[in-house]
Structure 1
Amino acid sequence: MTADRGADERGSGSGPRTARLLADAATGEVLRGHDARHAFRSASLVKPLIALDHLRRRGEPTAADRALLEPMLRGSDDAAASELWDRGGREAIVRRAAAEIGLTGTEPPRDPDMWGYVPLTAEDQVRTYRHLLGAGAPGDYVLANLRRYEVIATDGFDQSFGLPAAGAEPVALKQGWSGFGRGPAEPEPEPGPPAEKIPDERIDLESPAMHTTGLIRRDGRLLVVVVCTLHPPGTSWAAAAERITGLTAELLG
C-alpha cells in the first residue's frame, strides 16, 4: 500500500494538521490520500489493538473480558482501556500488534502509562482495519463491537463527528480525541498538580486531536476511511467536530 504524503499544513506542535486516507479494504489500493505517514498521537484509536491483542492471548472472551472489551470498543471507555493496557503489558501490546500486522508507523509511547500517546499513522490504520477483516474470530469480535458504537461515549462526548456526520453509514467506527478537557460525564479530577508529560519528539502532545476512522460500503466495495486532525490550542469540541466532518465529506467526495 502506498499513499501520497502531501505537504504539511502546519508543523508539529502548532496545529492544525490533517492526514486523510481512503482505501479499498480488499486490495489496499489507495483511492485518495494526504500525509498518510505522518505520526499523530493515537488517543482512542489504539483501543482496537488493545482488544485484538487481549483476544489473541486469551482466546474466547469470558463475561469478565466482555465487561471491559465492549465498553472500550463501543463507548470508548478509558478506564476499561487502562485496565486492559496494564494486563497486556503496556508497550508490549504495541510491539506485538506492530509485528503481527506489519505496522511501520505505530510505536510504543514514551510514557508507558499513556496508551493515548501511542504514535500511529493513517496508513497503519488502514493496515489495522484490513488485518481485522482477516483475523478470524478475534477480528470479527472487534469489528462487531465497532459496528455497535455508542453515539455518546462513556465520558459524555458525542462520537457522531466525522464519518457518521458526513452522511456515511459506517460498517465499523472508531473515533479518537484528546486535549478537549474533561468530558461532560467525567467526574472532577482529584486536586493536585497535573501529571508531567514525558516529551516525545515523534508526535504533537499539545494540540487538541480528533480522529475518525472506519469501514463503509460504496458501489459494492468495502472501503477504509481514516481522517486524523490536530487543531490550534483552545479549539472547542464543536469547532473541531465541524472541521473533521467537513474534511471527511471532502475525502468521500
Structure 2
Amino acid sequence: MHTTTRGKVVLALGWFVLAVVLLATATPPARAASPAEAAAPEIPAGVSAGVAVYDRETGTFTEEHNAHMQFRAASVVKLLIALDHLWDRGPSYSLPADDRSRLDSMLRASDDDAANHYWSNNGGSAIIDRMSAHLELEDTEGPPAGYSGYWGYTALSAADTVRIYRWILDRAPAALRDIVMSNLRASTRCGKDGFDQRFGVPASFQAPWAVKQGWSGFGDTSDCSNTTATTTATTAARRSIPAEASDVNLSRPALHSTGTTGPGDRSIVAVFTLHPQGASFGAAYTDTTRLVRSLNVPGAVKRTGTWFGTWGSKVQVRADATTASKALTTLPAGVEVQVGCQKRGQQVSVPPYTNDWWAYLPLYGGYVTNIYMSSPDNKLPGVPLC
C-alpha cells in the first residue's frame, strides 16, 4: 500500500490523539494516603475529644481532630502559669529555693496549692492574657465570668497547646526551656492530690516522654497510695462543678494528656477529653489511653503487652508476687492495664476466687494478683511467663 507523506502525518496525528484519549480515560494511579488520612483517631463512645499531634521533624500535623475546640484546661494551664512566672527572670531564670520548689511541684506533681499561689499573686486571668499575647494563642481565654479564681476553667485547645510546646522547645531561652522540660520529664506517678498521672501518653509510649496532665470533675477520691492526699478546701472548690452554663463545658469530667515523646521530643501530643456525667476516673483513664494509643505519633515507641480490664477498688500493685512485698501504688478503680508477663506466686483468696497467678504491669513496675484481672481463667490467655 502506498502512503503519501501527508498520509503519514495524518496517521501519526491519529495515533497521538488516540494516546491522549487513552491517557485521559485511564484510571489514575492510587495516591498514597498520608499518615493522618490512613486512620482517624479512635474516639471512645460518649467521649468528646480535641486532638493534635505535631511532628517537629517534618513540621507537619499527623493528627488533628477538633483541634481548635475549647476545653476547660484543668491542670494543663499550669504550663502558662509557670511560663508567666518565669518570663522576666532571664537570663538565668533562677528562683529563690522555696519558690523553685513550689514551681517544680506544680509542674511535676500538678500541685494545686502552688498554682493557687501563683494565680493569686501574679494577677489571675491577667496571666492568661499575657501568655496568649506572648505565644500568639488563638483559642485561649481566661475563666468565664463569675469564676475568675478558677484557673482550671481557663479555655484551651489542642492546637494552642501544641503552640505552647513549640514555643518552649523551639523559641524559649535555653535556661527557661530546661526548667520546664526537666520538670515535665520528671512527672510523678501520683499527683499531689493523689490522682494517678500515668494515663494517656505515659501509658501508651515508652520513654522518653515529658507530660503535663490535667483532670477535673472526678471528686476528691485519691487512688495513688504512695502519695499523701493534700486536697485543701480551696483545691476542692476548684475541682467542684458549678451548675451555671459556660461557653466551655464545665459539667462533664475532663481528662487531658499533653506533652512530648520520642527522641529529641520529636512529637508533640495534645489530647483533651470530656467524659459522660458520672464517669469514674478509671473509666476516663482507660478511654483517654485507648484514644492516645490509636494516634499516629512519629518517633514514639508503643508499650508492648496485652491489655486487660480490672475490677475492684484500691487494688495494690506490689514489688513482687506476694502480699508481703512492698506496695508500690494503687490502681484506679476499674482501669484497663497492660500486662507484660505473668508468674506463679502467693496464693490469694478473695471469695469466691482463689488464684496463685500474678500479672506484671510494666507501667507500674510491679505485680497484681490475677484475681482482679477481667479474664475467666486463673492464668491469663496469650501472656508469656516472666
Fold conserved (TM > 0.5)?
Answer: yes
Secondary structure, aligned partner of 2:267: strand
Give the conservation status (yes or no) of the 8 Å contact 2:217–2:241: no
1:71 equivalent in alignment to 2:105: yes
1:53 matched residue in structure 2: 84
- 2:250 pairs with one of 186, 192, 205: 205
Supply the AA of the counterpart residue of 1:203: V
Within 5 Å, give how 1:194-233 maps onto structure 2: 197=242, 199=244, 201-217=246-262, 222-233=266-277
Change (3 A) 1:90 1:200: farther
SS of residue matched to 1:243: helix
Distance in 1 between the 2:291 and 2:86 partners? 34
Distance 2:79 2:139 in 1: 16
How far the C-alpha of 1:138 sits from its partner, in A, is: 1.8
Distance 1:85 1:43, change over 3 A: same
1:235 to 279, 288, 292: 279
What count of residue pairs does the alignment treat as equivalent? Answer: 242
Question: What is residue 90 of structure 1 aligned with on the other side?
Answer: 124
Q: Which residue of 1 aligns with 2:156?
A: 120
Aligned partner of residue 51 in structure 1, secondary structure: helix
Distance 1:183 1:69, change over 3 A: farther
Where does residue 40 of structure 1 map in the other structure? 71
Identity percentage of aligned residues: 42
For residue 207 of structure 1, give the secondary structure of its aligned residue in structure 2.
coil
Cα offset, 1:205, TM superposition: 0.1
1:153-232 matches, within 5 Å, as 153-184=191-222, 185-187=229-231, 189=233, 197=242, 199=244, 201-217=246-262, 222-232=266-276
1-side partners of 2:139 and 2:244: how far apart? 18
Q: 1:102 aligns with which of 127, 133, 136?
A: 136
- Higher Rg of the two aligned structures: 2
Shift of residue 199, structure 1, vs aligned partner: 4.2
Cα 1:198–1:65 shift into 2, 3 Å: farther
Q: Deviations over 1:130-157 (max 9, x none)?
A: 0111211222211111111001110111
SS in 1 for 2:129: helix
Once the two structures are TM-superposed, the CA of residue 198 in structure 1 deviates from its matched residue by: 8.1
152-161 or 164-173: bigger deviation: 164-173
Determine the C-alpha separation between the residues in 2 that align with 1:244 and 1:17: 10
- Aligned match of 2:165 in 108, 129, 133? 129
2:365 equivalent in structure 1: none
Aligned to 2:115: 81
Please tell me whether the aligned partners of residues 26 and 130 of structure 1 are also in contact (alpha carbons under 8 angstroms). no
Amino acid at match of 2:103: L
Q: What is the TM-score with the length of structure 1 in the denominator?
A: 0.87
Match of 1:62 among 78, 81, 96: 96
Per-residue CA deviations over 1:90-148 (Å, capped at 9, x if unaligned) read: 11100110001010001111221000000000000000000111211222211111111
Q: Give the superposition deviation at 1:215.
A: 0.5
Amino acid at match of 1:143: M
Q: Is the 8 A contact 1:164 1:170 kept in 2?
A: no
CA distances 1:143-176 after superposition (whole Å, capped 9, x unpaired): 1111110011101111001011113424310000
Deviation at 1:247, TM superposition (A): 0.2
SS of the aligned residue for 1:105 comes to: coil
- Is the contact made by 1:24 and 1:221 (CA closer than 8 Å) also made in structure 2? no
Q: How much does 1:217 deviate?
A: 1.3
TM-score, normalization by structure 2? 0.58
Q: Which whole-Å CA distance do the structure 2 matches of 1:16 and 1:75 have between them? A: 26
SS at match of 1:30: strand
Q: Gaps spanning 5+ residues in structure 2: where? A: 1-35, 223-228, 298-386
Q: Which amino acid aligns with 1:66?
A: R
Letter in 2 for 1:109: P
Indicate if the aligned counterparts of 1:132 and 1:140 stay in contact, CA closer than 8 A.
Answer: no
SS at match of 1:85: helix
2:366 alignment counterpart: none
Q: Which amino acid aligns with 1:210?
A: L
SS at match of 1:98: helix
